[in-house]
């Protein structure tokens, strides 16, 4: 018999894409897995989507399905919302899965991920092959963190034939937070107060921080070659991507040790000087970047008190080339497309 699992599905103001959110929720009712519960966390939605979701569950929940609701008193972001679901989980659940409300799950994916995790020891978190909504373009085949403090999905925006190694299990820096499965006991051991995320992180400083923490504590993160789901990305968070993305990277620079750490201050000073000057001239986007930098420094300092300094070199990571280093210092970097052959993996087993 497969172990018990809690599936946590996070909702926030999904009225503008309600049909997709309900399709995502419906896919959870159709999982090829018998021993699970669904915990629906609502992050204090104000657009009527919580009531719509609740009504949908009351009408279409299969008999015997275990569904519970947790409603937050405020919008706690991804990290805080998922932590609420984590605290509400069945204490007998061996695994916990986290799902975004813009991701439609493949029916057999949960069972297949659990079967893989049950066959190995020391795996703290795992994810499968996640596509964009077109079902052809890859959103993530696990995640990787680079020596220059950025995080991205392996094979992001590539087609299947371009994604080298997608048909084999691989180590990854982190499991993708859009749909990831955790070993509850392992995460309780390494997390702050036994929770997977820092509540204060809010957004974009969650899945890869957990992945780095797991590796630094002697556990593993895996990608498994199963078709996991379709992700219609950024439906909720699109207006805030710039601020929270910068904030998270600055916080990561504060807590993650790499061989390029001495140049982090140079990069930060240059970036802050340029955008402070533009902000004074009334450029709103630059003012937002300045705020994100200062907030990132504050978040990094806060995180370090609880997690200490993490090193990237205990995890699979992406090495930086001289060209990438130059563009990092000058602030001209573009997102790189990465496959498994690009990852540097120490001897782990």
pLDDT tens digits, 108-122: 999 999 999 999 999
Span 49-59, mean pLDDT?
A: 97
Return the pLDDT at 236. 65
If we measure between CA atoms, which residue out of 28, 318, 283, 347 comes closest to residue 144? 318
Return the pLDDT at 346. 66
The span from the CA of 146 to the CA of 165, in Å, is: 19
Among 140-149, 192-201, 324-333, the range scoring the smallest mean pLDDT is 324-333
Listed in sequence order, the residues at least 6 apart from 22 whose beta carbon sits closer than 8 Å to its beta carbon are 52, 53, 56
Of 152 and 333, more confident: 152
Return the pLDDT at 323. 76
| pLDDT of 320 strictly over 90 | no
What is the assigned CATH class of domain 5-238?
Answer: alpha beta
Structure token pair of residue 113: 């991920």
Task: Identify whether the C-beta of residue 136 lies closer than 8 Å to the C-beta of residue 159.
Answer: yes
Say what percent of the chain tops pLDDT 70: 95
Span 308-322, mean pLDDT?
A: 93
Return the pLDDT at 67. 96
From the number of C-beta atoms within 10 Å of its C-beta (0-12, 13-18, 19+), residue 70 rates as: middle
Span 146-159, mean pLDDT?
A: 93
- Within a 13 Å sphere around the CA of 257, how many CA atoms are in the beta-carbon half? 10
Q: Which SS3 state, helix, strand or coil, does residue 284 take?
A: helix
> Average pLDDT, whole number, for the chain?
93
Return the pLDDT at 129. 98
- Confidence label for 340 from pLDDT (cuts 50, 70 and 90): confident
Task: Kindly report, as residue ranges, where domains of CATH 3.90.550.10 are found in the chain.
Answer: 5-238
| pLDDT of 214 strictly over 70 | yes
Span 51-65, mean pLDDT?
A: 94
| pLDDT of 21 strictly over 90 | yes
Span 316-328, mean pLDDT?
A: 84
| pLDDT of 35 strictly over 70 | yes
From the number of C-beta atoms within 10 Å of its C-beta (0-12, 13-18, 19+), residue 197 rates as: buried
| pLDDT of 238 strictly over 80 | no
- Confidence label for 181 from pLDDT (cuts 50, 70 and 90): very high
Span 71-88, mean pLDDT?
A: 97
pLDDT in tens, 252-282: 999 999 999 888 888 899 899 999 999 999 9
């Amino acid at each position: 018999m497969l172990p018990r699992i809690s599936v946590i599905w996070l909702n926030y103001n999904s009225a503008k894409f309600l049909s997709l959110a309900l399709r995502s929720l419906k896919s959870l009712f159709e999982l090829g897995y018998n021993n699970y519960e669904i915990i629906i966390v609502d992050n204090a939605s104000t657009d009527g989507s919580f009531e719509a979701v609740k009504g949908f569950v009351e009408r279409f929940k299969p008999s015997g399905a275990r569904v519970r609701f947790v409603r937050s008193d405020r919008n706690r972001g991804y990290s805080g919302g998922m932590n609420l679901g984590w605290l509400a989980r069945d204490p007998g659940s061996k695994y916990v899965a986290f799902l975004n409300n813009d991701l439609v799950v493949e029916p057999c994916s949960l069972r297949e991920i659990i079967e893989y995790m049950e066959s190995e020891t020391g795996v703290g978190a795992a994810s499968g092959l996640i596509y964009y909504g077109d079902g052809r373009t890859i959103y993530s085949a696990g995640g990787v963190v680079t020596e220059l403090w950025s995080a991205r999905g392996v094979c992001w925006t590539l087609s299947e034939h371009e994604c080298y190694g997608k048909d084999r299990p691989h180590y990854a820096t982190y499991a993708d937070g859009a749909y990831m499965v955790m070993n509850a006991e392992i995460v309780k051991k390494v997390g702050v107060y036994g929770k997977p995320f820092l509540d204060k992180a809010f957004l974009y400083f969650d899945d890869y921080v957990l992945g780095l923490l797991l590796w630094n504590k002697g556990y593993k993160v895996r990608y498994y070659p199963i078709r996991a789901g379709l992700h219609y990305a950024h439906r909720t968070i699109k207006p805030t991507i710039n601020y929270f993305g910068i904030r998270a990277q600055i916080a990561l620079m504060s807590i993650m040790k790499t061989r390029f750490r001495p140049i982090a201050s140079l990069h930060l000073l240059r970036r802050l000087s340029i955008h402070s000057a533009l902000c004074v001239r009334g450029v709103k986007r630059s003012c937002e970047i300045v705020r994100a930098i200062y907030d990132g420094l504050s978040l990094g300092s806060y995180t370090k008190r609880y997690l200490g300094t993490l090193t990237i070199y205990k995890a699979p990571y992406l090495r930086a080339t001289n060209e990438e280093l130059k563009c990092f210092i000058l602030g001209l970097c573009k997102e790189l497309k990465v496959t498994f052959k690009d990852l540097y993996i120490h001897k782990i087993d």
